[in-house]
Amino acid sequence: MRSTFLYAVVILLLAGCATLPAVEEDVAEAAAARGSRESIELIRVQEERIARKPFIGGNAVTLLRNGPATYAAMIAAIKGARERIDLESYIFDAEEGAKFADLLLEKRAQGLSVNLIYDAWGSSETPTELFDRLKRAGVQVLEFNPIDPTGVIDLNKRDHRKLLIVDAAVAILGGVNISRVYENRHGSSSGGDDPDLLPWRDTDVRIEGPAVADFEDMFLATWRRLEGPPLPPLPRRTGTPPGDAWVHAIDGDPDSDHPLIYRTLMTAITLAQSSIHLTTGYFAPPPDLARALRQAARRGVDMRIVVPALTDSSMTQAAGRGKYAGLMKAGAHIYEREGVVLHAKTAVIDGAWSAVGSSNLDWRSIVFNDESDAVILGARFGGEMEALFAEDMAGSREIDPRQWSERPFGQRLREWGAGLWEFML
């Protein structure tokens, strides 16, 4: 979730230089290879080179549409846990957080290891007592980047992940926070234009199989960085694979000096041959990404992007709208999703490379946030992603280039002003 314009002012005063990762070599290598063989195979090879680890086969992958479906899957996984529960969430609020706390306390009382990481800024409105109650019962709780008024405050550094791992066998991740905005919101659009009253449209994925161990390693790396008590690695599961999906666990940790989410996405866009279908809750693409999208559209790739019509971050929306004209001129189609608050972060390229996770198409996700995405290869899951994308397009208004060129001067001015701030939004 995003904050107000005043918050952006504070951030700008406190922030250092926002430096984008270098992607020129990745893009040049991908462009040189383009067309030499089937695009998905090329993307797989390049992505494995960048990430320095292979895709892992033998996984069962389930697409979870919206908060209620994600919560049902999370609750079932937690109730079925036998050894350990690891939960990482940007927002762990007082209402939904209290419900999940009860589940975690129940499993802790059964003797399981239960571990929680929450972001200090994202969960800043959550009463301390909720976390204290968990700690008293033996749940190990770590706060990411605590806000210390007496010290140096770095509000930019955030843990934006939404990641549940159970017994190192099941992982659930995507855009869904532990937040009241998903409660009892199954599609009613009677909230007008108030983001607090509208249903939230989001996407998660449930993964069962050997790839989960990589997401567990991702959680453990953050746990160690926060100097949490030692958590012994759980044994990697063996036996009959639960499915046939190939999965890549992609870490967006900007401290790694090679943030994988941005680099792999740029490579996939550069190698796309037929279609790029993106859904994002926050769209303010940095120059390299905007350029790659325009170039893909110009070479005839079916470029479609679904973004929010209503949002909880109007400045980010304005900055993104400032990029519409250039993208549409290149041949991209842009849709604004109506009747909901779009918060999903997904991509499907050439019908068989799919990404679901916590990362947005904006500077903050790329430069500052810890993120986690799952990349899934295969036409079956890609077909499910395309069907969900078609549903979002059907609930959207396509931006007409001619009408957009005639939008009021005041709107253009707002977009220009937001563009000056976009690396801090």
Provide the greatest CA pair distance for the chain.
64
- Residue 275, both tokens: 């279609």
Buried b (16+ CB within 10 A) or exposed e, 44-80: bebbeebbeeebbbbbebbbbebbbbbbebbeebbee
DSSP strand pairing (203-208 vs 170-174): antiparallel
Geometric angle at alpha carbon 258, from 53 and 151, rounded to 5°: 125
**pLDDT at residue 377 in the model:** 97
Task: Return the DSSP state at 178.
Answer: B
How many angstroms separate the CA atoms of 57 and 209, rounded? 8
Tens of pLDDT, residues 126-143 = 999 999 999 999 999 999
More confident residue, 186 or 410: 410
- Residue 116, both tokens: 């929680």
Tens of pLDDT, residues 313-331 = 888 888 889 999 999 999 9
**pLDDT at residue 126 in the model:** 97
Q: Give the pLDDT band (50/70/90) at residue 413.
A: confident
Q: Any idea which residue has 């063996």 for tokens?
A: 238
Q: What topology is assigned to 5-424 in CATH? A: Endonuclease; Chain A (3.30.870)
CA-based nearest residue to 184, from 62, 95, 122, 124: 95
Q: Give the pLDDT band (50/70/90) at residue 258.
A: low
The secondary element (H helix, E strand) that includes residue 280 is strand 275-280
Any residues with CB less than 8 A from the CB of 154 and at least 6 apart, and which?
14, 145
Residue 203 has pLDDT above 70, yes or no: yes
Q: Give the pLDDT band (50/70/90) at residue 13.
A: very low
Strands (E), 113-243: 113-119, 140-144, 162-166, 170-174, 200-201, 203-208
How many angstroms separate the CA atoms of 139 and 134, rounded? 5
Domain spans in the chain, listed from the N-terminal domain onward: 5-424
Tens of pLDDT, residues 97-107 = 999 999 999 99
